[in-house]
Chain A
Amino acid sequence: MRPMHWAVIAALASAVWASFAYLSLDLGHLLTTEAQALMWNYVVSFFPPDLSGEYLVQIGQGTLETIAISAVGTALAAVFGMLLALPASGRYGTVARAVARLVLNFLRSIPELVWAALMVIAAGLGPFAGTLALAWHTTGVIGRLFAETLENAPAEPVQALQLSGCRPSLAFLYGTMPNVLPQFVAYSLYRWEINIRMAAILGVVGAGGLGQMLYFSLSLFHQQQAMTVILAMLVLVVLVDTASAWLRRAMTGG
């Protein structure tokens, strides 16, 4: 090992030591029999999950709401992302490009959950806040990628169309869109997949969907219902994973 490695290891070790020291946690406390008994009681209180028909109907609604939040949020983001990608790809000059990129970076840098907390203030508790939150963040992510795709698209088709008297807007639709549309669709669907997962948890700050149900049931000490929500989240994630893997195989295979 080079001395550099030892220096890095020493730095990491002291960072870890400093972290634990700074938090000054009494983790030993968690290992006492008393604490463990409490913990065990807490864990046990989650079982059995509440599988009553009435609650399952609510879970079903929450799941649908989660999917709706993600779908609408992603659809809005695809539209806004496209609109912002046009200036961000430099079509309207360098100033517009810089401004659009700044906006996209800003939207993207703020995590969905922070957006959700802000949107709960602006639009009130409920799924609408979650939808807007996902839309903002995803607009930043999608817009940046769309802009790059547009910049990399070949220029010849558009130039040729403009040379035959085409308006710039129509030249874009006929010359650039066919090149970039498949990528737009594929990436938007991929983001939707990510957003379903995200929509399931955004509710913990009050932005609707399964997350909000989880937050409520935990706040009301209904652990068994909370367990049902967690199970529903797991099932949703597994289903989305399976569906997307299947779709991917179907698309690349066919």
Chain B
Amino acid sequence: MSLRLDGVGLVYSNGYRAVNGVSISIGAGERVAIIGPSGAGKSTLLRLIATAQRPATGAIEVLGAAPWILGRGALRKLRSRIGMVHQAPPIPPRQRVVTAVLAGRVGQWPMWKGLASLAYPVDVAGAQSVLARMEITDKLFERCDRLSGGQLQRVGVARVLYQQPDLMLADEPVSAVDPALSDRVISELNREAVARRITLVASLHAVDLALHWFPRIIGLRAGEVEFDLPPVRVTDAMLRELYASEATVPTQGDQPLAVEAAGIRRKPMCS
């Protein structure tokens, strides 16, 4: 068992109930997409799994350990096995792409290696190979503030690929990437998970992407699990119900960066 949440809840200090009594278990090597309207608690749920946030109620178990009873060193070790793709890549603007990617493994390196890499990047070849999978090899020595939003988000994904975690989390990893590349990025994440038989949990805005790539879909609404099914059993009615608060069920076509001219825009699924 890679991940188990048991009645997990979190209430923010302003009284907002972000996650409410969520119980799910995810086995090793499973690939799960979390969908739901904005404000449903997708990001909070991922942050709880990533051990960024301590749950107020319930129990959580990640990679066979209860993170919040671990000592500092053990927690750090556990965290180095969890890789998180953030929605807004948390990379200092002036950092170079190669350093930003190598930073993925700094948590696993001994101190001296982390320091040495600041003087000269210790694994240029490794960084280059993950960037190749994201199709941005040419930006290897570029500064991150010279990249577009989509390129930067792919650097964020490349960092996590380079980290080689045992549990891969992704919080809307393609929100700034155009549809053609979104597909590529999500497929790379899935390929990595399959190849290394690791668990992948991703929250996605575009429902079509989720249904296409993930064998298990969790619908989240108002902090509670609405459904937890394989994609074939997710019906249009369920989706309409899930996104009742929004005008339509979001798909890739809704994304602001959609490139229509490229002719790869997908047909909205539920219209």
Direct contact of A and B (CB under 8 A): yes
* Interface, chain A (partner B; CB < 8 A): 154, 156-157, 159-167, 169-171, 173-179, 181-182
Selected interface stretch from B6-14, B93-101, B261-269: B93-101
Query: With A164-B82, A164-B163, A166-B106 in contact, is A156–B93 under 8 Å at CB?
Result: no
Q: Which residues in chain B, 107-142, are within 8 Å of chain A measured between CB atoms?
A: 107-108, 111, 114-115, 118
Contacts between the two chains (Cβ within 8 Å), count: 82
**CB-defined contacts of B2 to chain A, threshold 8 Å:** none
* CB atoms of A156 and B79 under 8 A apart: no
Selected interface stretch from B84-92, B173-181, B242-250: B84-92
* CB atoms of A164 and B83 under 8 A apart: yes
The residue on B at minimum CB distance from A166 is B107
**Contact with A165, one of B52, B76, B94, B111 (Cβ below 8 angstroms):** B76
* CB atoms of B92 and A176 under 8 A apart: yes
**Contact with B94, one of A163, A171, A182 (Cβ below 8 angstroms):** A182
The residue on A at minimum CB distance from B165 is A164
5 pairs from A and B in contact (CB 8 Å cutoff): A163-B50, A164-B82, A174-B106, A178-B93, A178-B95
Q: What is the bound-complex CA distance between A97 and B165, given in angstroms?
A: 36
Q: What is the bound-complex CA distance between A175 and B111, given in angstroms?
A: 15
* CB atoms of A164 and B91 under 8 A apart: no
* Interface, chain B (partner A; CB < 8 A): 50-52, 76-84, 86, 88, 90-95, 99, 103-104, 106-108, 111, 114-115, 118, 163, 165
CB distance from A3 to the nearest CB of B (A): 51
The residue on B at minimum CB distance from A158 is B90
Query: Most chain-A Cβ atoms within 10 A of its Cβ — which of B88, B92, B93, B108?
Result: B92
**CB-defined contacts of B50 to chain A, threshold 8 Å:** 163
Q: What is the bound-complex CA distance between A181 and B96, given in angstroms?
A: 14
* CB atoms of A164 and B80 under 8 A apart: yes
Q: What is the bound-complex CA distance between A159 and B79, given in angstroms?
A: 12
Query: With A160-B84, A170-B114 in contact, is A178–B77 under 8 Å at CB?
Result: no
Q: What is the bound-complex CA distance between A162 and B106, given in angstroms?
A: 10
* CB atoms of B93 and A163 under 8 A apart: no
The residue on A at minimum CB distance from B102 is A174
The residue on B at minimum CB distance from A182 is B94
* CB atoms of B99 and A167 under 8 A apart: no
**CB-defined contacts of B82 to chain A, threshold 8 Å:** 163-165
Given contact pairs A157-B91, A165-B78, A178-B95, a sample of 14 additional A-B residue pairs in the complex whose CB atoms are under 8 Å apart: A156-B90, A159-B90, A160-B90, A161-B107, A163-B84, A164-B79, A164-B80, A164-B83, A165-B81, A167-B111, A173-B115, A174-B114, A174-B118, A178-B99
CB distance from B13 to the nearest CB of A (A): 18
**CB-defined contacts of A173 to chain B, threshold 8 Å:** 114-115, 118
* CB atoms of B92 and A179 under 8 A apart: yes
**CB-defined contacts of A165 to chain B, threshold 8 Å:** 76-82, 107-108
Q: What is the bound-complex CA distance between A174 and B99, given in angstroms?
A: 8
**Contact with B52, one of A163, A167, A181 (Cβ below 8 angstroms):** A163
**CB-defined contacts of A176 to chain B, threshold 8 Å:** 92
